[in-house]
Amino acid sequence: MRFTIYQESRRGGRKNNEDRMAYSYSRDALLLVIADGMGGHYYGEVAAQIAVQTMANAFQQEAQTTLEDPFWFLQKHIGNAHYAISAYSETHRLKDSPRTTIVACVIQNSIAYWVHAGDSRLYLIRQGRVLSQTRDHSQVQMLVDEGVISREQAETHPERNKVYSCLGGTHPPEVECSRKTPLHSGDLLVLCTDGLWGVMPGDILAQSLQHPDLAQSATQIMDRAEAWGGAQGDNLSLIAVRWEENYQERSQTTISTLSMGPSEFTTRMEEFGRNPNYKSNLSDAEIERAIEEIRAAIDKVSFKK
């Protein structure tokens, strides 16, 4: 595989960052995942952390070197993440379980497979245009689908961030799968939370990412979205991947997995409380305890069928 990847998350106008994201790749498969946590105190952060950590851990266990069935993998471990969040809630006897949206994608053999629950989005961009995007699991999107309101009205609707599918709720999440989608050289896959797409239309995002330097254009997008969000802006997170499978020339930032061994992985995922952009108002001892509790919750369902 050959690709360029960039990820970044910012607090925006919020006190804490409840978004989490990760990517992991073997020689022949790539996982991308973003989660947007919801919950009081620091529990939304925990829910999102459990979600991305469950997915990344499972990928490193099962992608040797490809996944037999990417859709099955994604659905199974999103379900496991849901039950892990519920286990955490039960352990702490929380009255209101923390929740999180999720969007996750696997790429192997130049084919993308993605699933989502909630309103964190994935865009497939080709030649500066949005070719495909996920459909938000939100009440406002349902109103648009039913013709009650227009897309323009949805963009400013006061309840546009209320979702009906998520991980950690009282019911298992409604998980929606894409089709198997062959990728072309130069295609872009963008995963993002509502703090980004809520202020930046998809067509502007697509056009802005056409610069050859993906890191530069993605950073500029984050700068603009953070400015547009202002003092009340939400957390905003983005993972952008340019697929370069058939490129003849490589830039300095292009990743090639050709020399990787069959059991070798590279993963980028911040542990809870380790990144200053994510850190809550918790003591070091509280952070360490939260990390152990997150691991324990994931371990409870790590072998769930």
* CATH number of the domain bearing residue 282: 3.60.40.10
Provide the pLDDT for residue 42.
81
Q: CA-CA distance, 69 to 75, in Å (whole number)?
A: 10
DSSP 231: G
Say if residue 3's pLDDT is above 90. yes
Which residue reads 């099962």 in tokens?
62
Rounded to an integer, the average pLDDT of 131-154 is 84
Average pLDDT over the chain reads: 90
Please give the span between the terminal C-alpha atoms of the chain, in angstroms, as a whole number.
30
Q: What is the pLDDT of residue 262?
A: 83
> Structural domain tally of the chain?
1
pLDDT at 8 over 70: yes
Compute the average pLDDT of residues 233-257: 80
Q: Does residue 305 carry a pLDDT above 60?
A: no
- 201 is in which domain, residue-wise? 2-301
* Helix 284-301 with 43-62: angle, nearest 10 deg: 50
Rounded distance between C-alpha atoms, residue 3 and residue 304, angstroms = 33
Alpha-carbon distance of 20 to 24, in angstroms, equals 14
Reported as a pLDDT band with limits 50, 70 and 90, residue 117 is very high
Model confidence at 88: pLDDT above 70 = yes
For 206, residues 6+ apart whose C-beta sits below 8 A from its C-beta are 123, 125, 128, 129, 130, 188
Checking if the pLDDT of 249 tops 60, the result is: no
pLDDT at residue 17 tops 70 = yes
Torsion over CA: 211, 216, 217, 218 (sign): positive
